[in-house]
A and B are shown apart, each in its own frame.
Chain A
Amino acid sequence: MGTEFVALLGLAGLSSAFAFVALVLAAWMAWRIVEKAGLPGWTGLGAVLLTLTGVGTIVPLILLWIFAFMRWPRDAAFASPARAPAAPGPATGGPMAGSSGAGGSTAPAAPSALPPPPKALADGRGWTLTGKLGDGQAVSLSFDASASAWMLTGAAAAQPTDLSLPDPSVGQPHARLMVAGARLGLADLGTAGGTFIDGARLLPEHGPRDITAVRTIRLGGVELTLSRV
């Protein structure tokens, strides 16, 4: 009888130890997650520790929903023009200062290029962006490495390197494509419609992003499929 009791006690102790470690780990991770969103870390830790109290798991669950759908301070910080000059983006942070949310009135920035890959193979192929405008009209834009930067704009093409997307949701200009060897980069210029890479929002503060292996980009309401030609 004594042996069984000790065994049960040991099992309970082991379970409690695992539960304690899991709780500490979850609290630590929750702290980091909410901090990344711009909230005080203790709010995440507190939400996890609430499971220890009488409120059980309902309140932390409600807090999870609130956290998912609330406006994060991170988003507000990225949207404010004051942040742009301090952004560490290699090419677009500076020129885009004060232009976020300008709704198509952004001044074009100086072209910049992604650094070439260390061992780039010769690749003469170009790229094509295909999709449909808001009015259902099909659009196909082709470009290649003959220019290091291409401007995606909702206005008519004024320069040889302008790629025109005549749609009201596309800024004038909207985003910049950068070609370096076999790599392709995309930088948002801070228009209201937004730029999305495979569904994820690209902000001006992010600087140029490598989209060589990306399938779709969205400029405002226009979704474009990227392919090599």
Chain B
Amino acid sequence: MPDPFYHLLAWVLGFGSFFLLVLLIGHVLVALVVIIPTWRICVRAGFAGAWSLLHLIPVIGSFVVMAILAFGDWPNGEATSD
């Protein structure tokens, strides 16, 4: 293998890793904006606030949190329960 190939490979791998890191940090930052209010909603409903961390799971996580809040019985009581 010629040296230029490894040189290019190193660049591709390095750039790819950097891109993934930026993507990961960006995802966590965006998720935080949703996690903070969801944490409070969960606590006010009577659930553990840690459920809101499911927002960290891309695509499906938000739906799971919403399903818990929408279809679970709120331990702290619901306005529609009676």
Q: Which residues in A have some Cβ–Cβ distance to B below 8 Å?
A: 22, 25-26, 28-30, 32-33, 35-38, 61, 64-65, 67-69, 72-75, 77-78, 86-88, 199-201, 203, 205-206
Contact = CB atoms under 8 A, between A and B. Distances in A.
Interface residues of B, number: 26
A200 B43 contact: yes
B69 interface: yes
Contacts of B5: none
A78 B77 contact: yes
Contacts, number: 73
A67 B80 contact: no
A205 B21 CA distance: 49
Nearest to B74: A36
B26 interface: no
A33 B43 CA distance: 14
Given A35-B80, A73-B79, A200-B75, 6 more contacts: A26-B63, A33-B69, A36-B80, A77-B79, A203-B76, A203-B77
A72 B66 contact: no
Contacts of A22: 63
B56 interface: no
Interface of B: 33-34, 36-38, 40-41, 43-46, 62-63, 66-67, 69-71, 74-80, 82
Contacts of B69: 29, 33, 36
B37 A33 contact: no
Contacts of A65: 36-37
B51 to A, nearest CB: 13
A32 B71 contact: yes
B37 A206 contact: no
Contacts of B62: 26
B70 A33 contact: yes
Contact of B33 (A26, A33, A61): A61
Contacts of B66: 26, 29-30, 33
